[in-house]
Chain A
Amino acid sequence: MLWYIGRRLLQVIPVFIGATLLVYGMVFLRPGDPVAALGGERGLPEAVQEAIRAQFHLNEPFFVQYLYFLKGIFTWDLGPDFTGQPVTETIANAFPVTFELAVMAIVIETVFGIGFGLIAGLRKGKVFDSTVLVWSLLLIALPTFVLGFVAQIFLGVKLGWLPVTAGRDPNFESLLMPAMVLAGTSLAYILRLTRTSVAETITADHVRTARAKGLSRGQVTQRHVLRNSLIPVVTFIGADLGNLMAGSIVTEGIFNINGVGGTLFQSIVRGENVTVVTITTILVLVYIAANLIVDLLYAVLDPRIRYA
């Protein structure tokens, strides 16, 4: 088991180098000069632009710039961005709130998705099942920004139940609405995955055997149905953690949350290459970690799976 984890962690090294090089190459090749755009409509005088390019090593060849970046990453001193803010500070400020939001969303989608999915699966074809299916279809069909704006206007502005935005004071209360919006689509998927999986497992031989042994209904559901049904769901949730962290741009924008999605988007627009590459790299690492945890969870859920 430890050997397995160690091997998986060693894979991080080539992935890290590959990802940074690839992403750095791509942002390097982007057309348009971010320094020219700094001055807006009027533009900065050429001499001033030159001075700024020199300050950010933008005149250097690609590999020199990349080495500067690697040096920055390993010393965790990536220098300032165009606004004069240290890049590391910007990133360190962005991650906690996004992480908090992602965790809240994961909890919401897991609890409600698995809960409703389980009940729907156990009562396949009944009223509850059909109702939940229709609702989940609706959630999947609605784009996040529609859900976000509707929730913001009704729950926030009209009814005043929850804070409209979370920018100044991102706490549990103000993050609740964004987390619900963010969880919406995934919740529907988890629900449907669980339902199908449970409905299938219920008819399996080992469940019939468990029942025949005289186990109570609750025990059968918990130990034999649910546990065996969770493998596809766990796979989905693992991949979703990465998505939630990187893909919350829309939600973060609507609710004015200063998180990773917004920072990444602004950095791309403004040509802040170092910030873009660093955030992307961290997201890659998050994906790798999430995948590893999912793989380990397989073994916990299904004793037949072992790692050596």
Chain B
Amino acid sequence: MTPRKRLMGVGAAALAASLVLSACGGGTGDDGGSSDAGAPITVGNTEPQNPLIPAMTNETGGGIIVTNLFAGLVYYDENGAVQNEVAESIESDDNVTWDITLQDGWKFSDGTPVTAESFAKAWDWGAQLDNATNLSYFYEPIEGFSYDENTSIIDEGGIEVVSDTEFTVHLKQAESDFPIRLGYAAFFPLPEVFFDDPDAFGESPVGNGMYKLSEWDHDTVVSVVPNEEYIGKREVQNSGVDFVIYTDEDSQYNDLLAGNLDIIKNVPASAFATFEDDLGDRAVNQPAAVTQVINVPEYVEDFQGEAGLMRRKAISMAIDRDGITETVYNGARTPAKDFTNPVINGWSDSIPGNEVLEYNPDEAKKLWDEAEDMDPVGDDFTLYIASNADSDHQSWIDPACNTIRQALGIECEFDAYPTFAEFLDDRDSRKIKGLFRGGWQADYPALSNFLGPIYGTGAGSNDMDYSSKAFDEKLKEGNAAPTIDEANVLYQQAQEILFQDMPGIPLWYYNTTAGYADTVENVSFGWDSDPILYPVTKAE
């Protein structure tokens, strides 16, 4: 659910521990309001890396649990389209001031009502600097938010509670996709009981979602059962879900094959070639909202100026994306056509300028040589591609280097950092000596999510120090557009600017490679690569 799955696609690691034999799941049928009796659905998962507080949850292991325990103003359906959940309406005339009206009758699983206050206070808590929440940047657009001092966005006038079912949000500037963001964990409501003791709440959260927590046996299993107070459209069809914790994707896959596990979210790389045969039509291979790029730091001299730009394009055209996605990933990656992602509404495969993403070794060599004539880097030049080596990146960097070597006749090397933390050290202190790996997983299904946070001037993840006035302007225009469709046109124009400047070299889109056993039915996977759990039933 997040942009920072640290070991993207390799499955984040979980802590170990626990001898405690878990009682076999929590789901005794009588707990479930609308459910059939029966054994709970078992899903392979990783240990949540944070307390189960929405504003703290920034990784996938906790993400899938939190999104099932809480209901936000809106939710994302199977196609990533936004549907109202607790919200009756979300309206704005200028994309700056948003009037939000809630439906009547929503309650948390402890019986207390979900009011405008529940949202306002939850966001305010998440936004306070003293609470150091992992998702704090989501509240940054709201009036009164600050990274310099501890502020309350309620006191500063960012959120005004009008009545029990109505509140108003004031943003610092126009954000046309603000309603799309509201389905993300950062914008979930919290009950009163949370504010008494946040630490205790993180261990046993009380939400208003489809499920409620019945047991969290650390590093072993997280069990949830249907929440009978839930009144939304997504009616639970099973007796509950057990998220079984694994540290190794291979063992999880073997458990699925042996029939001990119903659903896995990630097929291990070792099974990419075989899983579609092993699982038949129960294998899932669909686009995911993750895009892999190689970023070009502006501070590396070889890539500056006109010659630098030609080199960027030459390298992009020298990479055989089709070949690598086929041979290395067996089709579990899709060659990129742009900087965003095909899962997102408004995506296009025909943005002017995207022909630099086609494999074209002859043209690439020509461009490189022209750049050499203009401003030579010399014959002993080595192109470095930096990444952490503690997850599986060598497997694509080496072949990418090979195609670059062959096409351009230059040396190319994987600049390997032993751990992610060491990679970050150099990346954040601007000491990378060549190109570096970047990956982005969408928080919410909007084109702008792939553009602003990465390529905007001074943006949090703009580790290249790319800065383009024209791009920033287009983005701003898009943010102020009256409708999402109109905004998307402007965002695509912003992408044209990126193709002219090439601050990054898009490589491919990830696929969701997952699967389920013949013990369950009605399984599908959402835009965020997580299984949609409420309609799943046990096979008879």
Contacts and interface: CB of A to CB of B under 8 A. Distances in A.
Given A94-B17, A97-B18, A37 B424 contact: yes
Given A40-B4, A41-B3, A253-B247, A163 B260 contact: yes
Interface stretch (A19-27, A127-135, A166-174, A183-191): A166-174
Contacts of A41: 3-6, 8, 438-441, 461
Given A38-B134, A84-B51, A152 B15 contact: no
B15 A263 contact: yes
Interface string A253-277: 1111111111101110111000000
A258 B16 contact: yes
A48 B134 contact: yes
Contacts of A84: 50-51, 199, 202
A142 interface: no
Contact of A93 (B130, B219, B246): B219
B16 A33 contact: no
A156 B258 CA distance: 7
Interface string A225-240: 0000000000000000
Interface in B226-257: 244-248, 250-252, 254-255, 257
A31 interface: yes
Given A43-B460, A43-B461, A164-B260, A266 B424 contact: no
A74 to B, nearest CB: 22
B84 to A, nearest CB: 28
Interface in B1-57: 2-6, 8, 13-22, 47-51
A28 B188 CA distance: 38
A51 interface: yes
Contacts of B419: 32, 37, 269
A96 interface: yes
Interface residues of A, number: 65
B290 to A, nearest CB: 10
Given A41-B6, A42-B453, A266 B14 contact: yes
A49 B54 CA distance: 18
A45 B137 contact: yes
Given A51-B129, A83-B48, A253 B19 contact: no
Given A41-B461, A48-B133, A164 B21 contact: no
B40 to A, nearest CB: 12
Nearest to A54: B132
Contact of A266 (B132, B247, B423, B461): B247
Interface residues of B, number: 67
Interface string A34-59: 10111111111111100110010000
Interface in B115-140: 129-130, 132-134, 136-137
Most buried by A among B255, B428, B441: B255
B470 interface: no
Nearest to A145: B250
B3 A36 contact: no
A28 B460 CA distance: 28
A157 interface: yes
A45 B460 contact: yes
B421 A168 contact: no
B18 A33 contact: no
Given A46-B147, A256-B252, A258-B220, 12 more contacts: A32-B422, A37-B6, A44-B134, A45-B460, A55-B132, A93-B18, A164-B258, A253-B247, A254-B248, A256-B246, A263-B15, A269-B419
